[in-house]
Structure 1
């Protein structure tokens, strides 16, 4: 607290004094701080003895600040505010914000989060966002799970694994009764594509070999409702089969389909110790 500050002043002294001063009551302050009134009185008295001044006038019906108390309160508030900001900053550094646009892989996500939090004592915030790559570049999230062949300037990519593809169609579609469909036959159907973060689109085939009809959507809700309405079929990671994403769609296995690479993307400049531990947990088998 600066040169000449009496030895022995602790944060608990400042918290106690600030609460009593703000509430003008030892009783209410004790309730707020969850300590007994005698213990609170002793703590404030200790502070006064350390400062060698009287901070509170206890003679009136309500507790009031003395002139010295009023002057000291201003400084105490600044110290407590700085401490709170420091704690918040430390906690933010101890939290990893994981951005994702769609279903997280199972059980990878659950295992990774549990392993990381158990090993570090830090936490993971899951942030659903339409464009996770942009969110990383704008530092809205620390790291993003991305699917597909991603090219992003300034970002570091760490490959995790590959997912298989399945087709999804309306339950009234002729495809719904098929036991499987070959990758080479997918272009025979109108293809519903999420142009923001979809994993399958015209780019998934060599030029001239992709679907003739493309139905473009801008997010998952538009995409799944378009598929359910029979506007075309979609192609998604196999993890969707284990989730209930819409009551009016069916999944059909695809043979001979290329896999979907799954990676973590983050800014190299943000590669601090907490984020490194998260990547290590993500890669652990």
Structure 2
């Protein structure tokens, strides 16, 4: 065995399990599945040819060898963190988003991350955040709605946003106090096919809108609704942040919430992304 057989992911996995005395809580912190964490620990033990953790009791405990190894592993990781801190002021994390970063979550997350790490966040508006992630022009993508994320990417769900209906000032929808989710398919629906949160996919077969007007980005979607070609459904944040004289917002009842998630590739800027995800999750509860 050589030191090259042991990777940082092995050390981080082991020290996190040792700290929590729990595989489930460690997996939550590391943002991986529990089976994946178990495989990583097993790899480490196999490569060292020792048993580091005793799994026979109700709680995970360190063996004598594991306790000794933990001291050295923690020193290695601490030294690495110190080295990264020296250059962190030069590091930049690129956050891609399709439209309207959610507030106040975005401001809290960016501020907390930059204060904790000394790195900076570059905000990149792109019509297709997942595609930008694939092209590696961003490091993390904020994704709204039930978008399909490729299997090789990692998704961290943050929270849910309420939905609201939006229409032209000339629309008949302005005459009603609210719109029920079940009645939305009776209206022509304007859909942003690239980064929209609501579309025909949001309803089961047989209940989907019969008339769909497709657009390719948020600006096209906005102006198409304003031109009274149909109505739109968006997260409620749009009512606070959109200023368009030809638009009106209508309350939506019984609508399923719209999820907000962060997506990233597992092999890019691991340390910075891990710190950003930590800041993002902490900001969701405030």
Band of TM-score, shorter chain: 0.5 to 0.7
Number of aligned pairs?
Answer: 196
Q: 2:95 aligns with which of 89, 98, 102?
A: 98
Q: Which runs of 5+ in 2 are unaligned?
A: 1-86
CA distance in 2 between counterparts of 1:157 and 1:245 reads 31
Establish whether residue 241 from structure 1 lines up as the match of residue 239 from structure 2.
yes
Mapping for residues 1-285 of structure 1, pairs under 5 Å? 94-153=91-150, 154-284=152-282, 285=285
> What are the Cα deviations for residues 78-122 of structure 1, in whole angstroms up to 9, with x where unaligned?
xxxxxxxxxxxx679721100000111110001101111111111
With structure 1 as the length reference, what TM-score do the two structures score? 0.67
How many angstroms does 1:245 deviate by?
A: 3.6
Distance 1:257 1:104 in 2: 21
Query: SS at the partner of 2:102?
Result: coil
Instruction: Tell me which stretches of 4 or more aligned residues in structure 1 moved more than 6 Å.
Output: none
Superposition RMSD in Å: 1.4
Q: Cα deviation per residue 1:128-163 (whole Å; 9 max; x = unaligned)?
A: 000000101111000010011232221100000000
Q: Does the CA contact (< 8 Å) of 2:161 and 2:235 recur in 1? A: yes
Structure 2 Cα separation of the partners of residues 245 and 268 of structure 1: 38
SS at match of 1:270: coil
8 Å CA contact retained: 1:169, 1:249: yes
Residue segments in structure 1 that go unaligned for 5+ positions in a row: 1-89
Residue 277 of structure 1 aligns to a residue whose secondary structure is helix
Deviation, 1:273, is 1.1
Secondary structure of the 2:267 match is: helix
Work out the CA distance in 2 between the residues paired with 1:131 and 1:197. Answer: 6
Structure 1 position 214, deviation (Å): 0.3
Per the normalisation by structure 2, the TM-score is 0.66
